[in-house]
Chain A
């Protein structure tokens, strides 16, 4: 049930929405805590103010006010996110909206008598509740939009490096799979070196090297080091008469490629870290 005090405030807000919104816009467009609003178009800013003040009536009529607030909050967040307004400024602008509403009510002498003062406390509580809903929803939406933007930017890299496919495996499986690949590489080296074949089989070694870098970053360099040792050791045992230089260069390249890809993967992970708390 809507009480008379609430109606009084709602009526005032609705009839003066544009006027209060203009006062708010003038404030927010020069306030030192909302510098990103300064260059915005005034009509766009006023429109958001009017939408906020009209939300009051809509919320008081709605069965679930929290759900009703979403219509405003999400649009507000999307619009100002697109304008590249930082979240703290968008929230502070909302704070100013609430203050202007209250300033206007006070200025109009809406709550004069003792009884009206008591009603003022209740009205103030109602205003705050609405603001709490909106600030929570705007923050949530901003985070969602930020995470989406980050995923979009990193998505190409992650997909390219198969981060989501093989990167999602459990570590035990990764270790087991890597052990199989290393054993396969040893067999391949032994077979080719004992047979004295000159097939460029070492290109296949880049499969475990790249996978290790994706999974473990720079720490994955252990895999190319093992493969380099296997290659050089096998050469020194089975190909004593063949020149060493080619395999030495290959061994060095394994380590260089492993380190470069590992460093890149660590950088990608670091870029994602600050957004982890927002992914819940």
Chain B
């Protein structure tokens, strides 16, 4: 598990700033992330760079879901306080995942045929981590929305 994962994780960790910069450029112009358009670039690059650091830590953690809960509940509260609608926060996370993968593809880290199997496994693990993150972020937003108001 560690072998295939470490390649992608190492790449993400080493290039967190670069990937964050590419993500920030995307999120600032993407039609599905309107509330990021006017946000200061430095601020959102920092946000993404931190995210990638946490992601790398979570990737190799023994209990990644618990780690996601520790870190990303706070992340959700911060985005909510900034007034980012949940669907945009979710889409920004989706873009973060895409940019990890785009960067890995661009760097052609999985070149030889034998590495395609590793690529599938890396991709699956990345998706699993993001599934946890999206679940935790959505749950926290849902709590903040106090949906009991809508009951009955």
Which residues of A are in contact with B by a Cβ distance under 8 Å? Answer: 33, 84, 86-88, 91-92, 95, 102, 114, 117-118, 120-121, 124-125, 128, 132, 135-136, 139-140, 143, 146, 149-150, 153, 271, 274-280
Contact = CB atoms under 8 A, between A and B. Distances in A.
B2 interface: no
Contacts, number: 92
B66 interface: no
B111 to A, nearest CB: 11
B35 interface: yes
A274 B134 contact: no
6 contacts: A88-B139, A95-B134, A121-B123, A125-B123, A277-B85, A280-B85
Contact of B87 (A143, A149, A275): A143
Contact of A136 (B90, B114, B123, B131): B90
B138 A124 contact: no
Interface stretch (B7-15, B20-28, B56-64, B141-149): B141-149
Contacts of A87: 86, 138, 141-142
Interface of B: 32, 34-35, 80, 83-88, 90-91, 94, 101, 113-114, 116-117, 119-120, 123-124, 127, 131, 134-135, 138-139, 141-142, 144-147, 149-151
| Chain B binding surface, main DSSP class | helix
Contacts of A279: 85
B139 A121 contact: no
A95 B139 CA distance: 14
A113 B144 CA distance: 48
A60 B117 CA distance: 25
Given A117-B120, A121-B116, A143-B85, A136 B91 contact: yes
A143 B149 contact: no
Contact of A88 (B120, B124, B138, B151): B138
A280 B134 contact: no
A280 B35 contact: yes
Contacts of A140: 87
Given A114-B116, A150-B150, A274-B144, A143 B94 contact: no
